[in-house]
Structure 1
Amino acid sequence: MRKLLNTLFVTTENAYLTLEGETVVVHCEKEKIGQFPLHTLSGIVSFSYAGASPALMGACVQKDICLSFCTPHGRFLARTSGISNGNVLLRRAQYRTADDLNASCQIARNMIFGKLYNARWSIERTRRDHKLRIDEQRFQSASETIHKLLPMVLQETNLESLRGLEGAGATAYFSVFDDMILREKENFYFEIRTRRPPLDNINAMLSFAYSLLSNDCGSALESVGLDAYVGFLHRDRPGRSSLALDLMEELRPCLADRFVLTLVNNRIINGNDFSKSESGAVQLSNEGRKKFLKSWQERKQETISHPFLEEKVPWGLIPYIQALLLARYLREDLEAYPPFLWK
């Protein structure tokens, strides 16, 4: 099993990264503000436009360290990539499967099943833990709606119809999402999903969490030899890591959505951790982003029993394990792709 090493998050907006020996050095205004051994890192995520030296990028490629660049507000920009050393037979199998709509649907429906299953379980956890603080009838109705969709998803053979079932499940799930927010309702509320730009505090955090999760899924796929840009549910689009978006679907409710709810309900993030532009776009402030990333790293270190492997693993390894299971399915070592079902 791959060891879960640390991810270095560089949040200083004008930071520049360089290589010094076997370490990564963080510079700001030509002053060294941090230095970290490369052998302790599995990934580096920079939220700075200044970038990194070619020497550091080369070292990260050689040492299999994912070096990713995002805007200061969390939008993914790019990831370093060297000469592809993935298994050519695995990638050929991936491309053949992606070109076959029926074969693509067989994988996609399992991923959507995982997404809806985990969304329903998130609803059920709130019903169990906060029964006296919610409208239980509304939660039960949403849960039952998703439950009825699950067998339909597994039987679906058309991608467009599958997307329709996913949309129906998402509508039911998000209809009670605001009720899962239990504190500071004047600052934290959910009415509708807004992306570019996010227009409220919850959407700002959801977008940031999805950006981090997408990056983790893309890194996991590349690490097992798959092409993160060729997906099954999300079809080819230049510049879009479609398979990473596919893989993260089943992880959104448990790894991203639930994480955001925890930050609010446990008072880790508050209304002062955001800024709003004249256009109405809401973003995490520098301090808010630091709190978010610190908690994200801590969350990834927590362990959970993987439902398919039946072993305790850190949350941070879940994208890697799912990528590995997908690769095994494409190699025909498994009869079907087993989605991650949160328990």
Structure 2
Amino acid sequence: MELIVHERGTFIQKHQGRLRVMREKERLAEVPLLILDHVIIESYGVGISSDAVRACAEHGIPIHFLSSTGIAYASLYSAGLTGTVQTRRAQLQAFENERGAWLARAFVCGKLENQHNLLRMMAKYRKTADPACFQRVQPIIAEMRDHIIEAERVMPQQLEHIRPSLLSIEGRGAARYWFGVRELLLCDLDWPGRETQGARDPLNSALNYGYGILYSQIERCLVLAGLDPYGGFMHTDRPGKPSLVLDLIEEFRQTVVDRTILGLVNRKMTIEQDETGRLSDHTREMIRERLFKRLEASEPYETKRVSLRVIMQSQARHLATFVRGDRDTYTPFIASW
């Protein structure tokens, strides 16, 4: 269970084995610590007691801080959840050897595969309803397949030697993917195309908010696996940049966020915004609800069906065992479509 606090003037406190959310003398929510997975604070002006922080640390419950647009700017974890020294040493060493290059290629291939497959899924519903649209996107889907083949042909060697090629492939693939998405959208949004932070149009705002929620989930998986969220492979190191989170999230953007948000938009969901372009509380609540529901959906994975939340944690653990040398290969997660 998640505890999400998004109202100014609220206060989170511990009360008899529970976290309680109060506003003045009104009780807004109360969740037992034993069933709480994580806490998300999604507003300014929210207070939390030191007792609540300690209780979360003792129960292994991370506390994530997100802006109203979904940008994750801080997280609190128990010191006991920061993993083993062995794993983190191996993670840093992998950056200098073939394992880091293998991971970078895997992240790009996984992203391209899921983009390609989502376009195919969206297109098949137009084959009968809108044959002209179906035909327009077929060359785009074919180009996506070409980008996947190009990425697979990049031979893992020193990471710094192959990263420029992988970034080029990823960028060209992303451009074709979002062009295809624009062609396949049924709603009249006058969408300008994909924009990241600072976007004010409804669809990009919803996507960015969804990625922010997914970001906090991925970071938690990496920390629980003993990995350093800031030591990435495909994404470069910069102060304050959680490069490994940005690496691993690539396997799940389309499966968790794009599929959910684009599906809602094509079903004529209204994305409400205020005068500043900020998503309304109602819209953010609806997106959160749908994304958390999607995370509980089961997908085929390693001969069985498990929830996407479990798959994300398993992929983080596979990543950790791969950098330590306990696993021979790392395979990105490709969703069934």
TM-score (norm 1): 0.90
How far apart, CA to CA, are the structure 2 residues paired with 1:170 and 1:96? 30
Indicate which of 167, 171, 179 corresponds to 1:167: 171
Deviations 1:161-213 (A, max 9, x none): 11000001001101111233223x1xx34322222311210000110011011
TM-score (norm 2): 0.92
How far apart, CA to CA, are the structure 1 residues paired with 2:150 and 2:175? 16
Deviations 1:35-76 (A, max 9, x none): 110111111111122232222112112211121111233221
Counterpart of 1:153?
151
Q: Cα distance, 1:325 vs. partner?
A: 1.3
Secondary structure of the corresponding residue to residue 77 of structure 1? strand
Query: What is the one-letter code of the residue matched to 1:337?
Result: Y
Secondary structure of the corresponding residue to residue 47 of structure 2? coil
Counterpart of 2:93?
96
Query: What is the one-letter code of the residue matched to 1:28?
Result: R
Secondary structure of the corresponding residue to residue 151 of structure 1? helix
Deviations 1:15-50 (A, max 9, x none): 221111210110123532211101111111111222
Task: Please state if 1:28 is matched with 2:32.
Answer: no
82-91 vs 140-149, greater mean Cα deviation = 82-91
How far apart, CA to CA, are the structure 1 residues paired with 2:304 and 2:207? 29
Secondary structure of the corresponding residue to residue 287 of structure 2? helix
Secondary structure of the corresponding residue to residue 9 of structure 1? strand
How far apart, CA to CA, are the structure 2 residues paired with 1:252 and 1:215? 13
Q: Cα distance, 1:263 vs. partner?
A: 1.7
Alignment: residue pair count: 326
Deviations 1:214-272 (A, max 9, x none): 111000000111111111111221112110110001211121111111221234x314x
Cα distance change, pair 275–173 in 1 and its aligned pair in 2 (3 A): same
Counterpart of 2:55?
59
How far apart, CA to CA, are the structure 2 residues paired with 1:265 and 1:316? 25
Counterpart of 1:86?
83
Counterpart of 1:270?
270
User: Does structure 2 conserve the Cα–Cα contact (< 8 Å) formed by 1:108 and 1:233?
Assistant: yes
How much identity, in percent, do the aligned residues show? 28
Deviations 1:99-123 (A, max 9, x none): x165322101111101000000001
Task: Please state if 1:75 is matched with 2:71.
Answer: yes
User: Does structure 1 conserve the Cα–Cα contact (< 8 Å) formed by 2:108 and 2:170?
Assistant: yes
Q: Cα distance, 1:148 vs. partner?
A: 1.0
Secondary structure of the corresponding residue to residue 69 of structure 1? strand
Secondary structure of the corresponding residue to residue 275 of structure 1? coil
How far apart, CA to CA, are the structure 2 residues paired with 1:54 and 1:168? 48
Secondary structure of the corresponding residue to residue 198 of structure 1? coil
User: Does structure 2 conserve the Cα–Cα contact (< 8 Å) formed by 1:74 and 1:208?
Assistant: yes
